Structure 1
């Protein structure tokens, strides 16, 4: 089903082609979905210089002129280095090869570019980001695409994801320049002191909270001139940080209800509480990590960017146990590219372990089973951690959400970069709670999202993006016809369960097997924490603030949970195994740890144990997942990892 905002944009294409208003718009609204999709795909090809002229519908045409001019601004080719994949030749040499142009890889490449004599190759399996990725309000739509995500789905389990199509949770990961920073919710919040200190205490020197602050600051450019946090965040980095706030009824009610329950301190100051978090959004557009590659610099000749380039494996000299380069496939052409210094793997918590295993680095028994020569036996792909999310759906009264007109929303965005499409709504309201001992180290996080009454297209997009079962989805759509819907997303911030990544086979183009491990911890702590979260949401809906909008938790008719009394502990435990899913934060599959840690894959300088000239720098190295959204920590890992590379190579040259 073509989405309404795409239909509106597509109308402009029809008018340009036919130079008619009344007849073409009449024809337009009767287009089939197939015809509509065809028109939508033509949008990026429109000439940026095209002018529209007509005797009727002048205001509409003026809007379309502005829309297309804005489209060209969003699709500015100067935002990124040029794609030089076609220039690569078999046998080419670079000083460093960085695999993955995501949140960490882009940071690493940018830092290495600053050393004048080094040549850098940055390899990305995806292409340039689409216009859709630039628009914050469309982030759920991006997760539906297969062009800009890897299209991963988890393996079926009796413990989780049973209420999703085919018993599989959708795990969208970025397959595009910018990686997950081009498709995520853009939340930027640092972890708690205890998160990073625990990394250091597990044998990783230099990874304590106090030492890591400087690496956060190097990426940050706080855009709040009057903020009381001005000295906490960096002001000279490349990633712009802004804070969406407004006077919407539902936002005010959420924050007031938190105050009523005693959560009036700031997580940014290290407390449990509620916050309107920062996001990497500037001027109403997403600022993905890849934009830092040319931000404030003219050194793009130091980097060769290769897009739509699929890594086959890392080439390793198994006599000297040394990474020599990569085997790369671009189109139908396979080539070997050599690194004179290092290969840096920044492909993320799913792809980095997959690539290592394809290259012969991983669990010995598993690699032999897949017919792969074992070079180094390490626990690659194990220790998978993720923030599991349980959605609670509530109905709220009409006055809670002010209705808007789609055409007005589009106008406000493309003309002023304001309104619905310029932000992510309630998503940046974050709550952090400790359900056990009420300390300032949270074991629960809460996020929110809302859907206006009778707005099936937006709700359908969300439900499709998470792959929810059709029966449950239809129940929610039916509820939405009668009322606004608020989703309270309860998240296990310190998950005890562990999953793993395995290879399906030895084919580099095959997707790996993802075993989430949700709710497999022996003491059932994750389920208990989420159950405490359910009761917190109930208490929140009983506050005076929420009483003004008649909030009520909905029974969404989960087929597998019909034998349990709604709202009982047993019902919610059943709901967890059916409708709990990912909040898109997989980590820890290439665990950082000392050599005597049998589960460690890399050391504290992010070098793969036993292999020279090979590092992993991304979310997969976290020994333990942080208690907040992971994006800021991945930027930090990129900064610290790059500095260690520079230190190691410049010091060896000086000696």
Structure 2
């Protein structure tokens, strides 16, 4: 794994005289650090300047995808002093290199969360638990994800408004999406589909690999359209990558206001709770631990909670806002009884493993690829390979709205490093892991990721204790419905198998692998019951938890915030992140989360003007 180098090594560019490839590579590697992990692209860290009793107009808890965008809007208004508190630090070099996104999620730059063991899901993974990493650094999950930019579809947002959330229809949210976007992709400039005047760079690329062409040929054989951009069908998605490096939300949106005197950023700042006046039912500020000091910092106008779908409900409950019985059980005084932590939704996935012939991928020399990247920001390390190919289908063919998403990962023959990273990330059990190692020793592997887009099941986030440093209890809720979720994924698996049997894939001798799932060995491989068992045992996360602070009107008993993202019954407090989604969007959730940050910033500016 590439690590952060000392700042002094930035001066090394002129020190090497050797013309050898290795020495040139080392030279470029050291010189590239300045641009890859340059703290000057972010606001300076002011955590040593924060004093107990300090006052700001707004305090934003979390500098992730939504928090960075809402902060940008507040600071650009020019009216108020804004403090941003981030539990993590600055992104490392590893986060900046697109191909290394798997490497990040097993580092100290994440919240290393595990789900509570369940009888319905994750049963065959280590300790019966799914691994749920979340970003713990500037940019949040936009600094650790696969950089896919997917908005979701019309039905997602119109449903939000139809459930009582005024202003959240498709037409309105599209305006906010476009205001964030800066379309760089040359092949899409003739369309008005994406914004061109925003800050967030959106690029695309085409992988020069046989497997890329085979995937797109195969879906055409099955009757699915190949599109130029996001829609019902298959396409090469836009990504938040610019000049071969990750464009995380903090770099883009906080970076744009980094020189403002109205912005103060504190990293490695752990917010322990929101201070709420019990009589006024009004947020006053936050209690935050910076280093070894715990202090109180005050927000004269609002506290904005943007800590993500797992940490925002945790902080609310620690502050006395949450389900009455649960808080009392943990010894926390209840200030407002709300269904915080309920309604948890995530995109459950099943990873279908298949082997391919040598023709699927061209041979590469890692030293040459590294040199290409560090010298020109090109080559394999500048993108995420065929993971940019996404497919959205309706498995019942009854709707224009998808219920399954496909994305793909390839692992080169005998690439145990990548295989081990993927298996660690999934929390795979040893027997399946060993079987895949044997297959990978002789074959390229194709991982078809089958994503359940509109889960019926619901989970919950709870407190382990009233200790703010304890991890929250995560009940995924996967497959706790009446069986509809399992059957939808089963249909998705059958389509993926059909894809591997097309003429296009026959050229690569594609074959689905029986990975030897211990709890499913008594069932006939490839039967419906086998796949139902497989999903129960190896089904895992797409890293998209949402909806734990549901947006809804006051007459909705499950609602935590209203349509302006204000917490019901508590003044001067909003939640601005993916936790407010009433229902999860149909696709990767990072783009919608940044859209939520944009709309929230506009609402707050209007409310205080």
- Per the normalisation by structure 2, the TM-score is 0.98
Cα deviation for residue 560 of structure 1 reads 1.0
1: CA distance, partners of 2:83 / 2:384: 34
| Match 1:633 to one of 592, 596, 602 | 592
| Residue 371 of structure 1: aligned partner | 331
| Residue 252 of structure 1: aligned partner | 213
Report whether the alignment pairs 1:607 with 2:569.
Answer: no
Cα deviation for residue 54 of structure 1 reads 7.3
Report whether the alignment pairs 1:106 with 2:86.
Answer: no
| Residue 233 of structure 1: aligned partner | 194
How do 1:204-603 residues align onto structure 2 when only pairs under 5 Å count? Answer: 204-227=165-188, 230-264=191-225, 266=227, 268=229, 270=231, 272-297=232-257, 299-522=259-482, 524-603=483-562
Structure 1 window deviating more from structure 2 (61-70 vs 346-355): it is 61-70
2: CA distance, partners of 1:374 / 1:295: 38
2: CA distance, partners of 1:229 / 1:468: 45
2: CA distance, partners of 1:575 / 1:261: 25
Cα deviation for residue 47 of structure 1 reads 2.0
Cα deviation for residue 516 of structure 1 reads 0.3
| Residue 144 of structure 1: aligned partner | 106
Cα deviation for residue 225 of structure 1 reads 3.3
1: CA distance, partners of 2:68 / 2:230: 29
| Residue 155 of structure 2: aligned partner | 194
1: CA distance, partners of 2:260 / 2:351: 44
> Is this contact kept in 2: 1:164–1:578, CA < 8 A?
yes
> Is this contact kept in 1: 2:39–2:90, CA < 8 A?
no
> Is this contact kept in 2: 1:110–1:292, CA < 8 A?
no
1: CA distance, partners of 2:228 / 2:526: 30
RMSD: 1.5
- Residues 177-224 of structure 1: CA distance to partner in whole angstroms, max 9, x if unpaired? 000000001110111100000000000000000111110011100002
Structure 1 window deviating more from structure 2 (436-445 vs 103-112): it is 436-445
Aligned residue for 2:608, secondary structure, equals helix
Aligned residue for 1:216, secondary structure, equals helix
Aligned residue for 1:319, secondary structure, equals coil
Cα deviation for residue 437 of structure 1 reads 3.5
> Is this contact kept in 2: 1:52–1:61, CA < 8 A?
no
Structure 1 window deviating more from structure 2 (584-593 vs 424-433): it is 424-433
Aligned residue for 2:435, secondary structure, equals helix
Unaligned stretches of 5+ in structure 1?
7-39, 651-655
- Residues 471-497 of structure 1: CA distance to partner in whole angstroms, max 9, x if unpaired? 211111110001000000111111101
> Is this contact kept in 1: 2:52–2:295, CA < 8 A?
yes
> Is this contact kept in 2: 1:156–1:167, CA < 8 A?
yes
Cα deviation for residue 299 of structure 1 reads 4.5
Report whether the alignment pairs 1:178 with 2:129.
Answer: no
> Is this contact kept in 1: 2:13–2:28, CA < 8 A?
no
> Is this contact kept in 1: 2:16–2:27, CA < 8 A?
no
Cα deviation for residue 94 of structure 1 reads 0.3
2: CA distance, partners of 1:490 / 1:560: 21
Aligned residue for 2:566, secondary structure, equals coil
Cα deviation for residue 58 of structure 1 reads 3.4
Aligned residue for 1:430, secondary structure, equals strand
Distance verdict in 2 for CA 1:110–1:51, change over 3 Å: closer
2: CA distance, partners of 1:468 / 1:534: 19
- Residues 150-175 of structure 1: CA distance to partner in whole angstroms, max 9, x if unpaired? 10000001111122211111101000
Cα deviation for residue 55 of structure 1 reads 8.4
- Residues 524-580 of structure 1: CA distance to partner in whole angstroms, max 9, x if unpaired? 111001100111011101111111101000011111111111111111111111111
Count of equivalent residues: 609
> Is this contact kept in 1: 2:68–2:254, CA < 8 A?
no
> Is this contact kept in 2: 1:81–1:293, CA < 8 A?
no
Cα deviation for residue 359 of structure 1 reads 0.2
Distance verdict in 2 for CA 1:557–1:44, change over 3 Å: farther
| Residue 95 of structure 1: aligned partner | 57
2: CA distance, partners of 1:65 / 1:542: 47
2: CA distance, partners of 1:232 / 1:60: 45
Aligned residue for 1:301, secondary structure, equals coil
| Residue 619 of structure 1: aligned partner | 578
Distance verdict in 2 for CA 1:53–1:273, change over 3 Å: same
> Is this contact kept in 2: 1:224–1:230, CA < 8 A?
no
Unaligned stretches of 5+ in structure 2?
none
Aligned residue for 1:475, secondary structure, equals helix
Aligned residue for 2:373, secondary structure, equals helix
Distance verdict in 2 for CA 1:227–1:140, change over 3 Å: same
Cα deviation for residue 631 of structure 1 reads 0.9
> Is this contact kept in 1: 2:113–2:133, CA < 8 A?
yes
- Per the normalisation by structure 1, the TM-score is 0.91
Cα deviation for residue 75 of structure 1 reads 1.8
| Residue 87 of structure 2: aligned partner | 125
Report whether the alignment pairs 1:644 with 2:603.
Answer: yes
Distance verdict in 2 for CA 1:643–1:481, change over 3 Å: same
> Is this contact kept in 2: 1:329–1:335, CA < 8 A?
yes
Structure 1 window deviating more from structure 2 (435-444 vs 110-119): it is 435-444
2: CA distance, partners of 1:617 / 1:229: 33
Distance verdict in 2 for CA 1:441–1:412, change over 3 Å: same
> Is this contact kept in 2: 1:96–1:121, CA < 8 A?
yes
2: CA distance, partners of 1:89 / 1:502: 31
> Is this contact kept in 1: 2:229–2:238, CA < 8 A?
no
Structure 1 window deviating more from structure 2 (399-408 vs 508-517): it is 399-408
- Residues 596-617 of structure 1: CA distance to partner in whole angstroms, max 9, x if unpaired? 0000000000000000000001
